[in-house]
Amino acid sequence: MDSLITAAARALAAGDLLGVLKRVGLRDDAPALALRGIAMAQLGDFVRAKALLQSAARAFAPREAVARARCVVAEAEIALVSRDLGWPPKALDAARATLEKHGDWVNAAHARHLEVRRLLLIGRLDEAECALAGLDPAPFPPASRAAYELVVAGIAMRRIRAKVARAALARAESAARQAGIPALMVEVESASLVLNTPAARLIASGKERLLLLEEVEAVLESGTLVVDACRHVVRGGDTVVSLALALGASARTVQRALDSLAIADKVQSYGRGRARRWMTALVPEFTTTLLLPGPLPSD
């Protein structure tokens, strides 16, 4: 690795994106393309970033399997952040296997985080928890530990486990401060804000009040009969009964309601035409913490 690539990689690790572009912005060799792609992704230009990473993956020699796998993982993260759920998960799984085979455990773990985050995004909580269970964050560097704890917090919020979520976010904040990456610290702060924002509306005895997640958890644990209008179930103690799926409304009425929710930033869509789907915002919102395209000299 030449001195400019080494300096650019160190700048990327420190979150100095302009420093990355200053050093490799005019180069078109594989490591430079990968670095530029990751920097552009973190700057929010996902289209350009994806093109650069694809070019980098093609430019790396066949024997440079680890570098190619890292580009695939970075592209997968761009797809996740862009809500491109059509991106093939098998490609990410193959890249993770390559990284594990060559002993790149940190980036393999990052690939696993992306797999879990995708499962979390599409609502497959049981699968997400199962995939996360095989990871031990202790040996990871601070940035990876922060990413791990953010995923733990995201699952806990979906499960309405406020104490677990707060503990995970506290660990994430500590790890993010150790990493010293401003974008990561902002990400943790944004996730923490979700826990301090009303998560539900309680209507009882003709009165209405907003509840934080801890209060929602307390209501559900109290054994009170709850009609959950968010998940369309009735809860009473350990018993959960799903309601009827039919809404009795026209497709146009539903579309107008979804458009109103989108304007209020309550839901978001992906896909087009008949393939268009709607979902609530990911909890918590994740920014991109993309990978280094090659090992630092000390690795």
Closest-CA residue to 7 (of 294, 215, 266, 255):
294
Task: Report the 10 Å Cβ neighbour count for 53.
Answer: 28
Q: Are 117 and 286 in contact (CB under 8 A)?
A: yes
> Domains along the chain?
3-195 (1.25.40.10), 200-276 (no CATH)
* DSSP at 249: -
Q: Are 140 and 148 in contact (CB under 8 A)?
A: yes
Retrieve residue 46's tokens: 């996902």
Question: What span, in angstroms and rounded, lies between the C-alpha atoms of 167 and 234?
Answer: 29
Exposure b/e, 139-156, CB count within 10 A at least 16 = b: ebebbbbbbbbbbbbbbb
**Block residue for tokens 């922060």:** 146
**Beta-bridge mates of residue 280:** 267
Pairing of strands 277-280, 200-204: unpaired
CA 10 vs. chain centroid, Å, equals: 24
Average pLDDT by stretches of 10, the chain with 299 residues: 84 83 90 90 87 93 91 89 81 94 88 86 86 83 86 89 93 90 83 85 83 87 76 76 67 78 74 66 46 42
With 0-12 / 13-18 / 19 or more C-beta atoms within 10 angstroms meaning exposed / middle / buried, residue 13 is middle
Q: Give residue 119's pLDDT.
A: 87
Q: Give residue 102's pLDDT.
A: 93
* DSSP at 24: H
Q: Give residue 203's pLDDT.
A: 79
AA letter at 96: R
Closest-CA residue to 160 (of 195, 207, 118):
195
Measuring CA to CA, how many Å separate 62 from each of 59, 68, 291, 292, 294? Answer: 9, 8, 20, 19, 15
Q: Are 254 and 247 in contact (CB under 8 A)?
A: yes
3-state SS assignment for residue 143: helix
